[in-house]
Amino acid sequence: MNQSVSVNIHVHARCEIHETTLFHKKIEPKRGLYEGFAHVFFLTSGNAWLNAAGQKMEMHTDSIAYIPVSGSFSVSIEAGSTGYLLGVSQYLLIELLGSSAESVLLREFSERHTYLDAPDGHFVEEFHNLAQGFLNELNDDKRGSRMAISSYFSLILMGLW
């Protein structure tokens, strides 16, 4: 089924910063409008619990989890913790994977859960910049380019791969 991605990028991409609160917070983003999304959760400070693929994993500062379109998950963020939740629809994901030489391997990668606990500092800094760029692109009324969002998420996936 070839379905083109709508011009309104906010239908096909999301990015939220879950900032420090006094109480724990539970996120279950695979419901409703975001049901057909692939997600990345990047914990930038504190601790959280990830429930995905039938497993419960403790996340610490700089941990990153990728959950494919078919995966359901929840994240319980502890009080005082902060993290990014990024996502793209299955249609945008298919579009951004493209048909280049590495597309087949990247497509296989995009279909499985991935978890990185405490990657090296350079990777974390680069990943933070990509997540912030993705967020800026979505939240600035003068921006919101589908091509830019696709490029950011492609770089995020390739970094995780």
pLDDT of the residue at 152: 94
Longest alpha-carbon distance in the chain:
47
Backbone angles phi, psi at 65, to 5 degrees: -125, 135
The whole-number average pLDDT for the span 127-142 is 90
Who's near 40: CB < 8 A, 6+ residues apart? 64, 65, 66, 67, 84, 85, 86, 87, 131, 156, 160
Q: Which of 5-9, 21-25, 48-52, 79-83 has the lowest mean pLDDT?
A: 5-9
Q: What is the overall mean pLDDT for the chain?
A: 86
Residue 148's domain comprises 10-160
More confident residue, 30 or 121: 121
pTM for this structure? 0.87
Q: Is residue 112 part of a domain?
A: yes
Q: Is residue 2 part of a domain?
A: no
The whole-number average pLDDT for the span 79-95 is 92
Q: Is residue 134 part of a domain?
A: yes
Residue 30, domain CATH: 2.60.120.280
The whole-number average pLDDT for the span 9-29 is 82
Please, are residues 156 and 119 in contact by the beta-carbon 8 Å criterion?
no
Query: Per-residue pLDDT tens for 45-78?
Result: 999 999 988 889 999 999 999 999 977 788 999 9
The whole-number average pLDDT for the span 77-92 is 93
pLDDT of the residue at 1: 40
Number of folded domains that form the chain: 1
